[in-house]
Amino acid sequence: MLNALNIAQLVLYIALLALLGQGALYVLAGAKRDQNLFYQLLQMVSKPFTVVVRKLTPAKVADRQVPIVTFFLLLLIYAVVTLEKMSLCVSLEMVGCR
């Protein structure tokens, strides 16, 4: 169970960093961000998560807002996974936890 939580935490962390980097490039690169190779790479990394959130959100939510919603939803899930990992480590008396 601990390994599953570690893997989930890692996947969420990578997606969160990709969305954060995408947001930074959105501000820095401006209108030419779609031509930026690094921005495109970050979009590819975060696309599976944004597609799921797009399907879950109502049509009122604009497409440009979906990455922001995705970021905060993943941040919430990351917090839940982290708290669950901490709870598991305490119940195992920190055996195998780092």
User: What's the pLDDT band for 98 if we cut at 50, 70, 90?
Assistant: low
Whether 60 is covered by a domain: the verdict is yes
Structurally, how many domains does the chain consist of? 1
d(CA 23, CA 15): 12
Whether 21 is covered by a domain: the verdict is yes
What burial letters (b/e) apply to 13-52, b meaning 16+ CB within 10 Å?
Answer: eebbebbebbeebeeeeeeebeebeebeebbeebeebbee
pLDDT by residue (tens digit) across 8-64?
A: 999 999 999 999 999 999 999 888 888 889 999 999 999 999 999 999 999 998 998
Whether 68 is covered by a domain: the verdict is yes
Domain extent at residue 24: 2-91
Whether 52 is covered by a domain: the verdict is yes
Q: What pLDDT shows up at residue 95?
A: 75
Q: What pTM, to 2 d.p., does this model score?
A: 0.88
Average pLDDT, the chain: 92
